Chains A and B, each alone.
Chain A
Amino acid sequence: MVGIIIISHGRFASGLLDAVSMITGEQKQIQAIAFNESQSPEDLKKNVEDSLSLIDMGEGVLIFTDLFGATPFNVAMRIYMESNRKIEVIAGVNLPIVLEAVLCREKEDLGSIYKYVLDVGVDSIKTIPKEIRKK
């Protein structure tokens, strides 16, 4: 099964994981990593690498980060470029995208999960439906 790592500024990732568990029940091979204000990118990279070795069973890992171009994403990119593991990285994580990844990862491989959830994520930002919106 594909592993999942969520990396965020502060405790957003662990909060997200908490929400995922509330909806889907306790999950395996999934970890949340917080990037704290006193940490260096090198410290964060080490945490992510430690987590990867725990979570990657050979089928690869999908890494979610909170913000494109920010340190959690930059660190994930660095690991993606240096590592021999199967890794995909998606920035701008939200609850729908993680839920989708959690639900489809038992049957699908990393390549197809990654493409599928990217579409789901982009499509998950919604507003008040037309039928309901006040005139």
Chain B
Amino acid sequence: MTVTHVRMDNRLIHGQVLVSWKSHIEIDHLIVTNDKVASDPLQITLLKAITPIGAKISVFSIEDCVAYCKSKEAENEKIFIIAKLPEDGFALVEKGLDMEMLNLGNQAFVRGAKKLSNTVYMTESGVKSLRKLHEKGIRITCRMMPTDPDTDYWPIIEETFPEWI
């Protein structure tokens, strides 16, 4: 299995991914994973129809995503995973996906969220999910674009949300 990048982005597939990330790393298979998205036929149709990328597109539940990434079919693919929320990232690991790094992409404001950066707002449950991932030795980064620094973001998250750690 070659999952080359795991990104949490509530916009799912969009301009930054299609333009910047696609030209920065090789992607054979773009997998969108989130249980809610995977049960929304309209969203699945949209994601598959409007992605102008020379890669395979799949929309999977968290469980199906992990199963697929461990399958024989995935062995020769360079897979880019886009999930919606940090909670999805934790669920992926819980279900058995190996990952070294989790990248926080766009996380828009939702009720109860607090600001980490201009483009990332975190909820308490999101921070707790990231903490569990950090404790498992997974590196957390926060890069909208490939040109953003590959900084280890956990210390910054810890410092920004001490009340939630």
Contact = CB atoms under 8 A, between A and B. Distances in A.
Interface of A: 9, 37-43, 67-71, 73-74, 77-78, 81-82
Interface stretch (B48-56, B124-132, B135-143): B48-56
Contacts of B46: 74, 77-78, 81
B164 interface: no
A82 B42 contact: yes
26 contacts: A9-B15, A37-B106, A37-B119, A38-B108, A38-B119, A39-B108, A40-B10, A40-B110, A42-B108, A43-B108, A67-B15, A68-B50, A68-B52, A70-B14, A70-B15, A70-B18, A71-B11, A71-B14, A73-B50, A74-B14, A74-B50, A77-B46, A77-B49, A78-B43, A78-B46, A81-B45
Interface residues of B, number: 25
Nearest to A71: B14
Contacts of A78: 42-43, 46
Contacts of B109: 38, 40
Nearest to B144: A37
A45 B12 CA distance: 15
Nearest to B43: A78
B51 A69 contact: yes
A69 B53 contact: yes
A69 B13 contact: yes
A37 B115 CA distance: 13
